[in-house]
Amino acid sequence: MQTHQTIPGFSRSILLSSLLLLLCCKTASGFGLMGPISASFGENGFFCAIDASGKQNVVCWGKNSSASTPSSASSPTSVSFSNIPAMAALSGGEGFLCGILSNTSQAYCWSSIAPSVDLVPPPFKTTAYSHIAAGKSHVCAIRGPYYSDHDLGTVDCWEIFETGNNSLSSKQSALFSEQSISNLVFKRIVSGEGFSCGGIREGGLICWGPNSSNLGVSGVLDNFTALASGKSSLCGISELSGEVQCWGDADLLAGHPNGTQYVSLAAGARHFCGIREDNHGVECWGVFNSSLIPKGPGFVAIASTDFTTCGIREDDLVLDCWAANASSSQKPEYDPPLELCSPGLCSAGFCGVGKFAFNASILNEVDLTSLCVRKELTICSSCGSSCSEGFFLSSSCTENADRVCTACSLCQNSTCWDICGRQAPPEMKKKLWNHVRRLVIIFGSSALCFLLILISWCVLGHSTTTQKEEGSKKQFKSCIGKPELEADSNEDSTPPLYVVPCPGMAQVFRLSELKDATNGFKEFNELGRGSYGFVYKAVLADGQQVAVKRANAATIIHTNSRDFEMELEVLCKIRHCNIVNLLGYCSEMGERLLVYEYMPHGTLYDHLHGGLSPLNWGFRLKIAMQAAKGLEYLHREFVPPIVHRDVKTSNILLDSEWGARIADFGLLTSNDKDLGGDLESDVYNFGIVLLEILSGRKAYDRDYTPPSIVEWALPLIKQNKAAAIIDRYVALPRNVEPLLKLADIAGLAVKEKLNERPTMSDIASWLEHIVKDGLTL
Ligand SMILES: *[C@@H]1O[C@H](CO)[C@@H](O)[C@H](O)[C@H]1NC(C)=O
Ligand SMILES: *[C@@H]1O[C@H](CO)[C@@H](O)[C@H](O)[C@H]1NC(C)=O
Ligand SMILES: *[C@@H]1O[C@H](CO)[C@@H](O)[C@H](O)[C@H]1NC(C)=O
Ligand SMILES: *[C@@H]1O[C@H](CO)[C@@H](O)[C@H](O)[C@H]1NC(C)=O
Ligand SMILES: *[C@@H]1O[C@H](CO)[C@@H](O)[C@H](O)[C@H]1NC(C)=O
Ligand SMILES: *[C@@H]1O[C@H](CO)[C@@H](O)[C@H](O)[C@H]1NC(C)=O
Ligand SMILES: *[C@@H]1O[C@H](CO)[C@@H](O)[C@H](O)[C@H]1NC(C)=O
Ligand SMILES: *[C@@H]1O[C@H](CO)[C@@H](O)[C@H](O)[C@H]1NC(C)=O
Ligand SMILES: *[C@@H]1O[C@H](CO)[C@@H](O)[C@H](O)[C@H]1NC(C)=O
Ligand SMILES: *[C@@H]1O[C@H](CO)[C@@H](O)[C@H](O)[C@H]1NC(C)=O
């Protein structure tokens, strides 16, 4: 891990290791992956990951063995523990995990039963190690300080075994202390069941241990940038060719996809998952249920225990776990804590070709300049080269940042047409629109941001993961920025929450409650992704449906908690029947979640352009009027006025009564609070909404000339030919006069000169008249 050449960042080094395991064996698991997240196998299996606090703290989670029915709604299915010292790297064995301490480079091994008991035998406790590889019941490690440029050294091995009374013990290993390797200097190693293998300084691969001869590794002269192993197999990535080579139990490799490069691999009992090198998406093979695998872009690291895989998501550094098979119902057996985690291992030296270093400077606000315990260390990750379906590459990987993927809905010129335009079938476009403006944060620099966020989350999180669930809703009690120390702190050990005055209106939700309500923020509950972050559909314990907005890292980075509180204060005051109102919020463990009314009938966009029922003219006029009233309310009722800044049909939602509601406003998207021209620009954008309602075409559509709806419609309206823009797919009313009036209003709203545009109040009252006069259908 020390130099870029020997340790190609977490991604490569972790890579293939686990693959091999066994489709055949009863429990076949991958061992020896050293990375920022790792899993131990077997009955007492558990996961651990290095957090993003800048302290390299470790958070672990395992099954709640007393929760007999994983599907029962309320009881936690997993348990977290975090009293593990700070670690540089992790590697999992069977029933235990090992790591290298970040401060001293000493090895430390623990089980979930007694995490504070160090299982490393005394003779090895004081040695510094640069690499560690846990196998089924033994551990080997390369001597030398972890954070150095010279990660070569000789190997020590010890055994870890059950004592028969459900605890583990360890001893110096005779089995693995072979004379033949005692003087060899290794670059990296991996362990499996009864064997370890490593690449040596002079080049070539050597295996030792009682089961090593079964692998058939002898005379291999290649060098490998990464090694991984299952119980009876071994794989490595050739330094020269970049290709994967494997030895041992050939059956295990049967389903391995040819021709795809991976940057990380994880093996379960009967399946493998890997992170693709190109777009960082997860693919699995073996026995697994593909509908349980998270879709869309990518992961920075994954690890697998027997039937569960967990990973660190690239766009927010949040942990996500999924079951490999369908028999486990909705709640995964291993429900991860909501914490941000490190995207990779910290190392000394440069990242090298094909890698980028996380640049933490963008995290200034959080007072965090690095995710590593020492400032000179960096986290190197593999560059992505392409984006998942529905996204185009808007900037390539640099030294300090991964490539950036942008939603195809934002594709505006020929640079992305090839990727987005011709390939995007209509349904996909629809979906994309639902995910308006999702920006895949680049792994590199942005991910660092996430990490920073994570750090603070993790720090808080450690003290909060065991909190009780009762009393989960609280009324706002005190003022912004004042920790709610008074009343509740004695009743339970909840962390300080920041509460906002919101007279009787908004609730403070518990993180655990919202996590349950969204099934752990699972993909299949997502409604879309706004600029603020993910939006999830949730069902609260009382059956109420709500929408939960979860701030992404970029949002959190760009708004400090003070801004957030001010924002909340404003949001709390907004109450209107044409607004998607805030019901409550949650600010725990660094998370920022806003809970809104749920709008069952989707967005106006989806009705006009996305295949949901096309609305008739009566509905369309009413929706126009109600949306105008919602905006008028924002513009008129507040001092200073609330500027929406993103008025568009996908931000106009339809409630259960088909009433129009304005959504997604007010969340600080820019720091400039200068209102000059902003109200008018809301009006302009509302004019575009009116044109879309009238014509049924999109605001920007390359199938038309000109593609801009304003440039297309305005000349026609000015020439009194507005009839030509009216949507012909909806039966026309006998009297089209109201529609022509609507066109006139739209024409005024999109006037070039700001001072010639009407106010939202004007527009709302005109529309009200049109609706009152009624349509003759
Ligand atoms: C584990 O599950 C049991 C039974 O559902 C529950 O009572 C207990 O609180 C859970 N333990 C933890 C630490 O969540
Ligand atoms: C290193 O960290 C461990 C665990 O936090 C601590 O017990 C130990 O004293 C530290 N050692 C040094 C030399 O700081
Ligand atoms: C259980 O194992 C521990 C550690 O190996 C040992 O100290 C203890 O005596 C054992 N207890 C019993 C009842 O065997
Ligand atoms: C060697 O492999 C066999 C099964 O393949 C296993 O039973 C045995 O425990 C292994 N030896 C060691 C030392 O792990
Ligand atoms: C492997 O690496 C060594 C240096 O560590 C080098 O001398 C040797 O040529 C390399 N072998 C191959 C096949 O690339
Ligand atoms: C992968 O390629 C090898 C030879 O190139 C072939 O023998 C093997 O069947 C292929 N595997 C798959 C899954 O296509
Ligand atoms: C499915 O997963 C469970 C654990 O969640 C495991 O016990 C079971 O054996 C698995 N079933 C199959 C068919 O793999
Ligand atoms: C896969 O999982 C999904 C979601 O839990 C489930 O609906 C589906 O039935 C499962 N597929 C199989 C083949 O079990
Ligand atoms: C990190 O980014 C900042 C500004 O974005 C830049 O000034 C700085 O040089 C970068 N750090 C490194 C190590 O490249
Ligand atoms: C194409 O659009 C992107 C934004 O989508 C912009 O960054 C880029 O400069 C544009 N290129 C040209 C040639 O207009």
| One domain for residues 360 and 250 | no
543: containing domain: 507-597
**pLDDT score for 681:** 93
Residue 754 CA to its chain's centroid (Å): 40
Alpha-carbon distance of 598 to 539, in angstroms, equals 10
How many other β-carbons are positioned within 10 Å of the β-carbon of residue 333? 19
Residue type, 278: D
| One domain for residues 202 and 245 | yes
**pLDDT score for 412:** 64
Domain boundary residue, one of 597, 628, 643? 597
**What Rg value do the Cα atoms of the chain yield, rounded?**
29
| One domain for residues 120 and 146 | yes
Tally of domains in the chain: 4
User: What CATH number does residue 747 fall under?
Assistant: 1.10.510.10
User: What CATH number does residue 514 fall under?
Assistant: 3.30.200.20
Helix (H) or strand (E) holding 547: strand 545-551
**pLDDT score for 612:** 82
- Residue pair 585/594 in contact (Cβ under 8 Å)? The answer is yes
**pLDDT score for 415:** 80
**Cβ of 103 below 6 Å from ligand 2:** yes
pLDDT tens across 396-451, in order?
A: 999 988 888 776 655 667 788 788 764 433 333 333 333 322 222 222 223 333 33
**Which stretches does DSSP call E strand in 627-757?**
652-654, 660-662
Residue closest to 691 by CA, chosen among 727, 655, 721: 727
Residue closest to 231 by CA, chosen among 193, 197, 202, 201: 193
**pLDDT score for 313:** 82
- Binding-site members for ATP are 549
Higher pLDDT, 432 or 299: 299
**Where residue 747 falls among pLDDT bands split at 50, 70, 90?**
very high
DSSP of 165-232, one letter per residue?
Answer: SS-EEEEE-STT--GGGTT--EEEEEE-SS-EEEEETTSSEEEESTTGGGGT--S----EEEEEE-SS
| One domain for residues 112 and 220 | yes
pLDDT tens across 548-565, in order?
A: 888 766 566 556 666 677
Could you confirm whether 646 is annotated as catalytic? yes
Asked whether residue 200 carries a pLDDT value surpassing 60, the answer given is yes
Helix (H) or strand (E) holding 570: helix 561-573
**pLDDT score for 250:** 60
Asked whether residue 222 carries a pLDDT value surpassing 50, the answer given is yes
User: What CATH number does residue 22 fall under?
Assistant: 2.130.10
| One domain for residues 712 and 617 | yes
Asked whether residue 482 carries a pLDDT value surpassing 50, the answer given is no
**pLDDT score for 247:** 82
**pLDDT score for 467:** 30
> Catalytic residue among 156, 278, 646, 678, which?
646
- The lowest-confidence range among 104-118, 202-216, 243-257, 594-608 is 243-257
Mutate to test the pocket of ligand 9, among 359, 377, 446, 452 (most ligand atoms within 8 A of CB): 359
- Residue pair 230/93 in contact (Cβ under 8 Å)? The answer is no
In a domain, 122, yes or no: yes
In a domain, 478, yes or no: no
The pTM of this model reads 0.62
Alpha-carbon distance of 82 to 103, in angstroms, equals 17
Tell me if residue 63 falls in helix, strand or coil: strand
Residue 414 CA to its chain's centroid (Å): 30
pLDDT tens across 502-546, in order?
A: 334 567 888 888 888 887 777 655 676 665 677 888 999 888 999
**Which stretches does DSSP call E strand in 258-390?**
262-267, 271-276, 282-286, 299-304, 308-313, 319-323, 346-347, 355-357, 378-382
Domain boundary residue, one of 262, 293, 309? 262
Query: DSSP assignment, residue 642?
Result: P
| One domain for residues 559 and 524 | yes
| One domain for residues 640 and 711 | yes
Asked whether residue 277 carries a pLDDT value surpassing 80, the answer given is yes
Q: What ligand 2 atom has the least distance to the C-alpha of 103? A: 1
Alpha-carbon distance of 581 to 184, in angstroms, equals 67
**Cβ of 369 below 6 Å from ligand 9:** no
| One domain for residues 585 and 632 | no
Asked whether residue 75 carries a pLDDT value surpassing 50, the answer given is no
Asked whether residue 206 carries a pLDDT value surpassing 50, the answer given is yes
**pLDDT score for 711:** 95
**pLDDT score for 118:** 93
| One domain for residues 361 and 415 | yes
Asked whether residue 367 carries a pLDDT value surpassing 70, the answer given is no
Asked whether residue 485 carries a pLDDT value surpassing 80, the answer given is no
**Where residue 628 falls among pLDDT bands split at 50, 70, 90?**
very high
**pLDDT score for 11:** 29
Higher pLDDT, 344 or 218: 344
- Residue pair 201/188 in contact (Cβ under 8 Å)? The answer is no
Q: Which residue has the tokens 């575009």?
A: 688
Query: Mean pLDDT across the stretch 275-286?
Result: 85
Domain boundary residue, one of 218, 241, 262? 262
In a domain, 34, yes or no: yes
- Residue pair 727/739 in contact (Cβ under 8 Å)? The answer is no
Higher pLDDT, 20 or 225: 225
**Cβ of 240 below 6 Å from ligand 5:** yes
Please give all residues whose beta carbon lies within 6 A of any atom in ligand 8, as ranges.
289, 291-292, 326
pLDDT tens across 139-176, in order?
A: 999 999 888 766 688 999 999 988 877 788 888 888 88
Mutate to test the pocket of ligand 1, among 75, 331, 333 (most ligand atoms within 8 A of CB): 75
Alpha-carbon distance of 484 to 478, in angstroms, equals 7
Q: Where are the alpha helices (DSSP H) in 360-425?
A: 414-416
